[in-house]
Amino acid sequence: MVAMSFMLLFSKLTGTYGLPLPETLFWRQMLPALGILGWLGLHGELGRLKTQRFWVHLRRAFIGTAGMFTTLGVVRILPLAEATILSFTTPMFAVVLAAVFLREAVGPWRWGAVLLGLVGVLVIVGPDRAHMPVLGVAVGLTAAFSVALVSIQLRDLGRTEEPLTVVFYFSALGALMLLPGAVVTGGAHTRFEWMLLAGIGATGLVTQLLLTAALRYGSVASVIVMDYSQLIWSTLWGFLFFQQLPPATSWLGAPLIITAGLVIAWREHVLHRRAPIDPAIPMNAD
């Protein structure tokens, strides 16, 4: 989450300096792909990229790349803290998607947490359309849903693929999808602007490796709930770089969402501790 907060900071800075979003996303994907390919080539380990699930990787790349337009685009519309707070709906979407696609049994504790989190989001959005425009809120919620959807796919891929392989195919295939847009919108840049693009690529690589590894060893809801720690960093970067602080509604709604996330994390912890003791109890039942 720390790495992701830096990636969002770099994305907002590229928007401030007028860099086109399609080109920004292209370098966000291309640089990690080249980095992984070069590292494996130097160590003679290109065979680690072999996969029997190419079409699953392609589907994940398509959905993930489409979602990146909202994930990185929302910080160009909203302040960093507010964009981050809207991403806090991801665990709620993750609970719903896990129940639908992974057949995880979700009971009253986590459903209640989902409702509490949504109330918190409504408080944060509030009546101030100047500070929280409808377009920004819609993009932010779409980004949260796309992250939850990708998380479900990462959980599935993580059962058979190592994190490095998953990240490579996502980056490489995503870069190919974004190449036409980068060619059309791209142009000459200053050294500092190239540094911003490189920063997005580097932090994007670190974020994907860590998130993919986390989802390989932990449940979707309990991993995604760690997203809440981003609020600390996004508030700090927003103040230091853009002189922006969240309004009172954000401070009132955020505790509700954080409480919802803690409930989800607590239930996941309890259920995972209980399962080895009593095999008759489903791993993810409330």
Residue 281 lies in a domain: no
The reply to whether 280 falls in a domain is no
Q: What is the pLDDT of residue 279?
A: 38
188 found inside a domain: yes
Q: Which domain does 195 fall in, by range? A: 2-274
Q: Is residue 165 part of a domain?
A: yes
174 is a domain residue: yes
Q: Which amino acid is at 276?
A: P
pTM: 0.76
Chunked into runs of 10 residues, the chain (286 residues) has average pLDDT values of 90 92 92 90 89 89 90 89 83 76 75 85 74 82 85 77 87 94 88 92 86 73 71 90 85 82 73 52 41
Q: Residue 206 has which token pair?
A: 């670190």
Residue 187: both structure tokens together: 């142009």
* Structural domains counted in the chain: 1
